[in-house]
Amino acid sequence: MALPNGPVTTSSEAEAVLFDLVDVYERAYEAAAAELSLSPAQACVLGRLDERRGMGALAEELGCDASNITQIVARLEALGLVTREPNPRDRRARLVARTPRGDEINHRFTTAFTFARTAVGRLSPDEQDQLTALLRKALS
């Protein structure tokens, strides 16, 4: 379990709740991945493969080094969740795609990761809209 990333002392209640949210979110994500014997990074990459993608595209989207993706995809491949096919249009490149088993595991993961759904579900539709608007403004 990754350590929480948050200040202990916050100057406002809103900040404290933000920190709580991030912490609980992360733990829930990690727990859902762990249920399927996946690391968070593996679950993350697997989740980006609704469409087949090149290694470089994954790295750019996830904001990390390509060699990091090489590593993670290699483990997913060893687990039989992903394939690395040659790209017919560019023989330097590889196209990563989920296997049927990868699809299944990914589906089970999205089912197991209920946190965001559940949290949002505690709010009425109006409240959900308010939350969306407030967070958008806060993030702008």
Interaction site with DNA (CB under 7 A): 1-3, 39, 41-42, 54-57, 64-75, 84, 87, 90-94
C-beta closer to DNA: residue 71 or 118:
71
**Under a CB-based contact definition with an 8 Å cutoff, are residues 69 and 58 in contact?**
yes
Q: Is the dihedral of CA 2, 121, 137, 140 positive or negative?
A: positive
Is 66 among the residues that bind a second copy (CB under 8 A)?
no
Interface with a second copy by CB under 8 A: which range of 81-89, 94-102, 120-128?
Answer: 120-128
CB of 122 to a second copy, least distance (A): 5
Distance separating alpha carbons of residues 68 and 64, to the nearest angstrom: 7
Which among a second copy, DNA, none contacts residue 92 (Cβ within 5 to 8 A by kind)? DNA
With binding defined as CB under 8 A, does residue 111 bind a second copy?
no
Classify 52 as helix, strand or coil. coil
State yes or no: residue 26 binds a second copy (CB under 8 A).
Answer: yes
- Told to check if 41 binds a second copy by CB under 8 A, we report yes
CA gap 33, 42 in Å, rounded? 8
Q: Name beta bridge partners: 96.
A: 53, 84
